[in-house]
Amino acid sequence: MEQGNVRGRRFDLVIFDNDGVVVDSEHLAGQAMSETLALSGCKLSPGECEELFQGGTLARDRQLVAERFSLVLPNDFEQSYTARLRALMASSLRAVEGVAAVLDALELAGMPYCLASSGRRERVLFSLQAAGIASRFAERWWGAEDVSEGKPSPELFLLAAKSMGAVPRRCVVVEDAELGVLAAHAAGMTAYGYAARTPQEKLKTADVIFTDMEDLPALLLQVQA
C-alpha cells in the first residue's frame, strides 16, 4: 500500500531495522521479556510484551514498566532478559523469510544498504550470526551504544546515513515498529512499514506499508525508474 509521494523518488540508501525485519526475533523477544518480568511479579503474556515493548531500548522498557505498572525492576533485569533471549536465539532464531532474496536484489541493482537497530551491539551481532546473515552487513550496522538516544530519536538513522555517505532525504528505512517509523520521519527519511506481524494501524504513518517481504524489492526498485 503506497501513501504519499513516493513513486518516482530515487533512494541512495536502504536502512533496515533488525528485529522483526531482518531476523525473525520479535516472538522470541516477547517470550524472553514475559519470562523475565514474571520473576518480578509482572504478569504479561509474550504477545502483550511484543506489542508493548516493540522497537524500544531496554532502558525504555524499564521506564515503561515503572510508569505503567509502578514496578521498579531489579538491577539485573537487563542481564537476565538478555541471557534468556540469547538462549532462545541460539536454538530458534531464523532470518525473516525472503530477506536474503531482498538483499540479493539490492546488491544486483547496486543499491547500498545497512542496518540500524535499537538493540545493544552484542545482541545485534549475535542475532545476525545466529540467523546466518552477519556477512551480508559486514561493518555496515549500528546499535544502541553508538548513539546517546534511541528511537524515536532520529540519531541512529542519521548516524547510519552519515556513515554511509548518504543524504537523509534520499534514504529509505524499513521498519516494523511505530517508534522506528517516527524516527525515520524525524530524520527526514522515507519509511516503509513491514506489517507481517505488526498491526497496520500501528504503522499508519509510514509512507508505504507492505506485508510480504517478497514484495520489497519491487517496492524499492520501481522508484528508480
Residue identified by cell 542519521 is 158
Which of the two residues, 89 and 106, has the higher pLDDT score? 106
DSSP letter at 151 equals T
pLDDT, position 58: 87
Distance of CA 108 to the CA centre of its chain: 24
Mean pLDDT value of segment 29-38: 94
pLDDT, position 7: 52
Measure the CA dihedral 60/65/71/74, to 10°: -50
Nearest to 184 by CA among 26, 194, 49, 131: 194
Cell digits for 117? 537497530
Nearest to 32 by CA among 121, 127, 174: 127
How far apart, in whole angstroms, are the C-alpha atoms of residue 7 and residue 78? 42
Over residues 176-202, the pLDDT tens digits come to: 999 999 999 999 999 999 999 899 999
Over residues 11-29, the pLDDT tens digits come to: 999 999 999 999 998 788 8
| pLDDT-based confidence at residue 225 (cuts at 50, 70, 90) | very low
